[in-house]
Amino acid sequence: MAEGFEFLEHTADLKFRAHGSTLEDALVNCARAFNEATAGDSVIQPTESREVRIEAEDLQHLVHDWISELIFSFSTEHMLFARFDVKVEGKYTLTARISGEKYDPRRHQLYKEIKAATYHDMKIEQKKGSWTIEVVCDT
């Protein structure tokens, strides 16, 4: 298991489990799992930053929309992110400052093209002071 996340067996798509002592830590580890699935252990420089705000009706939608934001950024702008400062306010509002750089085929490997986060088999659990999030993504 990589620090904070692990990839799980799945027949056709990508499935990962992210852990954290807080919900924010687990969401950061979801982003790290996305990055590793996309670009392996490529070094990503935090040269560009942006603010992200997501309002959702429940935790499942919040997780889905967070991963979808990363997928959208990669698909439309070829952005990979290295730093994630994530806060969850109220019940289901995520604000984040994320920093990274554009994908560069000379420096970054491309492993999987992740097309979408799904709700299929999604699990979000809080037990004994830790959070676990499982997500399946279409590749």
Kind plus residue range of the DSSP H or E element containing 33: helix 23-39
Spatial distance between the Cα atoms of 33 and 31, rounded to a whole number of angstroms: 5
Candidate CATH numbers 3.30.930.10, 3.40.50.620, 1.10.3330.10, 3.55.10.10; the one for domain 5-138: 3.55.10.10
Residues 18-77 pLDDT 10s? 999 999 999 999 999 999 999 999 999 999 999 999 999 999 999 999 999 999 999 999
Residues 76-92 pLDDT 10s? 999 999 999 999 999 89
**pLDDT at residue 2 tops 70:** no
Spatial distance between the Cα atoms of 29 and 36, rounded to a whole number of angstroms: 10
The dihedrals phi and psi of 37, each to the nearest 5 degrees, come to: -65, -35
Q: Are 88 and 23 in contact (CB under 8 A)?
A: yes
- What pLDDT shows up at residue 120? 92
- What pLDDT shows up at residue 1? 45
Residues 98-120 pLDDT 10s? 999 999 999 999 998 899 999 99
Q: Are 69 and 55 in contact (CB under 8 A)?
A: no
**pLDDT at residue 126 tops 50:** yes
